[in-house]
Structure 1
Amino acid sequence: MSRRGWVLFTLMSVIWGIPYLLIKIAVEGASPPLVVFARTAVGGAILLPLALRGGGLRTLRGHWRWLLLFALLELMIPWVLLNDAERHLSSSLAGLLVAAVPIIAVIAGKIAGDREPLGARRWLGLLVGFGGVALLAGPHLQAGGVLPIVEMLFVALGYAIAPLIAARKLADVPSLPMTAACMSVTALVYTPAAILTWPEEPPATRVLVALGALGVICTALAFVLFFELIREVGPARTTVITYVNPAVAVAAGVVFLGEPLTWSIVVAFALILGGSFLATARSRPADGSATATAAGDGGTAKDGAVPPARPADA
């Protein structure tokens, strides 16, 4: 990759690795719906003017039904569940559970009609990856913390299904207008809940800083850089951040919040990422050329649209 590509890749690996830390801080003084509202309202306010330039929102005509479904599965449901789960789980554990998204995406793709056969290597990847998830979730299930784990599994499910919708129904829609519209709609949906759960006392400064960073850095700036990274290095290389984000999430939780780094976490991390790598590997045709390597890696983008790639964002 070019030097610019490496810089963008490094920034995205960090920016989409720290939301779990910031969410853990934000939910100390703000309700899960309020965190979703703050993040999407700030992100939408920054991205919407950029999308409006040149009439970008006109490209969304005729796609609103699928856009709303995409926003529901990518933002509205997962983000509030993730926020609620992090009131009971460590940020590093949440980040590692979300790392199972590529594994779930393989199964979702098969259910949705993916004709590529699951060979022995991909089946092994699925088993290894789910073994890592079980290693992480098991102690919490035994201790009675079932609900946060179930919430995280639904988060991962939404993150796995939403890119399938984007790839199959929204592939010709430019990503910036699509993202700005989804952010804005989500903020509107969560406005009543944010008002009803508004804290009686002003949140602590660290909570306000976390909310602002989530909206400005981890949402608005992150998506702008993400689009630039895809254009610079292509969607296939961009998806590699999926394997880096969890490491950043764990490191941030350990360094800044004093969360424990146990051997079970290290082993589960290796199992989930190794399983994801094996499960999402694509077969090679006889001539040795690789087939499409990631969902949405389908060649040149049309009319400025960016092929969807599932980052392990929060």
Structure 2
Amino acid sequence: MTVGVLGVLIVGASVPVTGMLDAYPVITGQALRYALAGVLLLAWARLRGQPMPLPGRRDWPALIALAATGMIGFQACLLFAQRYAEPGLVAAFLGGTPLVLALAGPLAKGKRPSWAPVAGAVLAGLGIAVLSGGGAARWQGLVLAALAMVCEALFTLLVIGVLERLGPLATATWSCCAAGVGGAAVGTVADPSGAWAWPDGRELIALGYLTVVVTAIAFLLWYSAVSVLGADRAGVLVGLMPVSGLAVSLLLGMQDFRFSQLIGVALVSSGVVIGLRRKRDELGALDVEVLDDVAADDRDHDRAQRPGEGDLLDELRPAVDRGQAQREIHGAERNRLADGDLAVLDERRDRERLGDP
């Protein structure tokens, strides 16, 4: 959970930095940011000696769709929406993203939505609406704001299967590479003359920060959180983005404090707490993975301690089933077993009876 919170706080706090790129070409600027982030993640994996699995045929369609919608498409919709709607209304629309993830995340895996993420998402969405303050819009702005919300949800929904197959690092890396290549191609075709303008000092600082912190680091943290919490529970953390942006704006003197902001922060915080709750008898994806890992570790430990013996079922086969004399185990100090344990007898002869080499 901590990595997810840190990831969304980083993204939320980057809003003032994003404004430094208002005059820079949108699509190619994003393409440059994503391409450089992909290179950094590849270098990080190489430096740590961590394997980087290549996407398979099942993964590339999702990664390309993610680059087109959740990455390049989201930024484009967000920018154009603010030409027809006030920023507060666009932000209020984005407050619906946690609810979309709470409902669609489990459905994408063939499960029913849980009450805790849904209830938490509703509270977080209300808190975002209070923090944004709403605003006026033309119909074009409403459509683009809704599309931005869908694109933001697709940033998580499209990689659910990819995360399970590749892991967070490879998912973040290849999605950035796909967005970098695709954005560069689209931006060049759309504006051949001005697509690759050289950034000035202010824009270069903004691009560097967005590349390293907001993309490479934050994407890795977010996908790590999604792989652990699931898309529905991780979705409620999206509500922390405007809270982080508000805190930075207040610290920099870019926004005045209002009492309604406390109400919005309280709603978002309550939504996050409720949305991350689990039932005691509910085994989520993380619980199952932990149990599987423990079982695998136990088997490996048993084999390491007794390298000449086989699996646990072979080791604990009752002696009477093999027609052999049972060893005296209860009187010997070194071979004392608890009640109900079975003696481990001649494993080699047992394997010969089973036909194992």
Q: Structure 2 length as normaliser, TM-score? A: 0.61
Task: Quote the Cα distance in structure 2 between the aligned partners of 1:32 and 1:46.
Answer: 21
Tell whether the 8 Å contact from 2:70 to 2:152 is kept in structure 1 after alignment: yes
1:44 aligns with 2:34: no
Measured at CA, do residues 296 and 36 of structure 1 come closer, stay the same or move farther in structure 2, by a change above 3 Å?
farther
Using the TM superposition, give the Cα deviation of residue 43 of structure 1 relative to its aligned residue in structure 2, in angstroms: 0.9
SS at match of 1:60: coil
Task: Quote the Cα distance in structure 2 between the aligned partners of 1:17 and 1:127.
Answer: 19
Measured at CA, do residues 46 and 279 of structure 1 come closer, stay the same or move farther in structure 2, by a change above 3 Å?
closer
CA deviation map 1:256-291 (0-9, x unaligned): 361344344443443345345545644443xxxx44
Name the amino acid aligned to 2:56.
Answer: R
Partner of 1:189: 182
Name the amino acid aligned to 2:217.
Answer: L
Partner of 1:247: 243
1:165 aligns with 2:165: no
Which of 50, 56, 59 is equivalent to 1:61? Answer: 56
Matches within 5 A, 1:5-24: 12=7, 14-24=9-19
Measured at CA, do residues 207 and 74 of structure 1 come closer, stay the same or move farther in structure 2, by a change above 3 Å?
same
Tell whether the 8 Å contact from 2:7 to 2:222 is kept in structure 1 after alignment: yes
Using the TM superposition, give the Cα deviation of residue 213 of structure 1 relative to its aligned residue in structure 2, in angstroms: 0.9
Partner of 2:202: 206
Give unpaired runs (5+ residues) of structure 2.
294-357
Moved more, 168-177 or 191-200: 191-200
Task: Quote the Cα distance in structure 1 between the aligned partners of 2:292 and 2:140.
Answer: 42
Larger radius of gyration: 2
Using the TM superposition, give the Cα deviation of residue 171 of structure 1 relative to its aligned residue in structure 2, in angstroms: 0.8
Measured at CA, do residues 144 and 80 of structure 1 come closer, stay the same or move farther in structure 2, by a change above 3 Å?
closer
1:219 aligns with 2:204: no
Measured at CA, do residues 89 and 284 of structure 1 come closer, stay the same or move farther in structure 2, by a change above 3 Å?
farther
Measured at CA, do residues 138 and 110 of structure 1 come closer, stay the same or move farther in structure 2, by a change above 3 Å?
farther
Partner of 2:76: 80
Using the TM superposition, give the Cα deviation of residue 61 of structure 1 relative to its aligned residue in structure 2, in angstroms: 2.3
Tell whether the 8 Å contact from 1:35 to 1:83 is kept in structure 2 after alignment: no
Give unpaired runs (5+ residues) of structure 1.
304-314
Tell whether the 8 Å contact from 2:126 to 2:267 is kept in structure 1 after alignment: yes
Partner of 1:310: none
Task: Quote the Cα distance in structure 2 between the aligned partners of 1:159 and 1:297.
Answer: 27
Task: Quote the Cα distance in structure 1 between the aligned partners of 2:117 and 2:53.
Answer: 41
Moved more, 53-62 or 247-256: 53-62
Using the TM superposition, give the Cα deviation of residue 236 of structure 1 relative to its aligned residue in structure 2, in angstroms: 3.9
Higher relative contact order (CA 8 A, sep 6+): 1
CA deviation map 1:181-238 (0-9, x unaligned): 21112112111444417379865532332122111221123345667x76xxx93499
SS at match of 1:213: helix
Tell whether the 8 Å contact from 1:14 to 1:245 is kept in structure 2 after alignment: yes
Task: Quote the Cα distance in structure 2 between the aligned partners of 1:122 and 1:9.
Answer: 15
Root mean square deviation of aligned Cα:
4.4
Matches within 5 A, 1:1-314: 12=7, 14-27=9-22, 29-50=23-44, 56=51, 58-62=53-57, 63-85=59-81, 98=94, 100-109=96-105, 112=108, 114-116=110-112, 119=115, 124-125=119-120, 127-132=122-127, 135=130, 139-140=134-135, 143-144=136-137, 147-148=140-141, 150-195=143-188, 196=191, 198=194, 204-223=200-219, 235-236=228-229, 239=234, 242=238, 244-256=240-252, 258-275=254-271, 277-278=273-274, 281-285=277-281, 290-292=282-284, 299=289
CA deviation map 1:59-104 (0-9, x unaligned): 31232223223333431322332344467755x8877764543222
Q: Structure 1 length as normaliser, TM-score? A: 0.68
